[in-house]
């Protein structure tokens, strides 16, 4: 079901782009957004089941293929970026815990070069930095984004709260408030 959600996210995004619906916020909100939300909720349910159980080695190839397909969730597309990056963050935080996978994904995203990534790719890179506990670098990159990126930070702040990582949460909320001009 998780693989189906990721694949469907990518196909729906491509369909919206192909028909020009990605440029029409009303159509996206009315017809596509509920589908993306359902796909995310389904994936979230199954990720929770898998993440906290033990998986046999036979799952390794399944997870590797799913990881490779999840890269499509970071492709530039402003119309459904938030929905797609939310699924990307869920998968990488709870399911793809292999450190070499995370290192390769971070290197892939860094490889685009500063100023050459779109906002979704920047958020994906910041997420990889947060997972690697490179909070200073993540925060530096996040504060360079436009103020409209602020809603993306709530995911990490909530994660820090749930994991009781108060020190990480304090650094993020104090610094982001001052550097984004919020007092």
Distance CA 3, CA 16 (A): 20
* Helix extents (H) in the chain: 2-18, 25-27, 33-51, 59-70, 81-94, 99-110, 119-131, 135-143, 153-162, 166-179
Q: What's the average pLDDT block by block, 10 residues per block, for the chain (183 residues)? A: 87 89 86 92 89 72 90 77 89 93 96 87 96 94 92 90 82 45 34
In this structure, how many other beta carbons lie within 10 angstroms of the beta carbon of residue 77?
17
What pLDDT was estimated at residue 131? 96
Q: Does residue 125 contact residue 106 with C-beta atoms inside 8 Å?
A: yes
Say if residues 92 and 105 touch (Cβ distance below 8 Å): yes
**Rg of the chain (C-alpha set):** 17
Q: With 0-12 CB in 10 A as exposed, 13-18 as middle and 19+ as buried, what is 166? A: exposed
In angstroms, the CA 15 to CA 12 distance is: 5
In this prediction, residue 57 carries a pLDDT of 66
Q: What is the pTM of this model?
A: 0.83
């Amino acid at each position: 079901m998780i693989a189906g959600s990721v694949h469907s996210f990518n196909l729906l995004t491509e369909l919206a782009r192909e028909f020009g619906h990605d440029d029409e916020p009303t159509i996206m909100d009315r017809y596509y957004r509920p589908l993306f939300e359902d796909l995310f909720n389904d994936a979230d349910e199954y990720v929770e089941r898998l993440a906290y159980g033990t998986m046999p080695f036979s799952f390794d190839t399944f997870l590797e293929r799913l990881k490779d397909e999840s890269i499509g969730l970071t492709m530039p597309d402003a119309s459904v970026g938030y929905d797609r990056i939310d699924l990307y963050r869920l998968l990488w935080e709870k399911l793809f815990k292999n450190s070499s996978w995370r290192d390769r994904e971070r290197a892939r995203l860094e490889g685009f070069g500063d100023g050459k990534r779109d906002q979704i790719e920047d958020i994906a890179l910041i997420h990889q930095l947060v997972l690697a506990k490179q909070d200073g670098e993540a925060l530096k990159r996040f504060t360079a984004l436009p103020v409209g990126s602020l809603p993306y930070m709530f995911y990490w702040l909530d994660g820090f709260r749930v994991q009781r990582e108060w020190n990480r949460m304090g650094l993020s909320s104090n610094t982001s408030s001052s550097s984004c001009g919020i007092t």
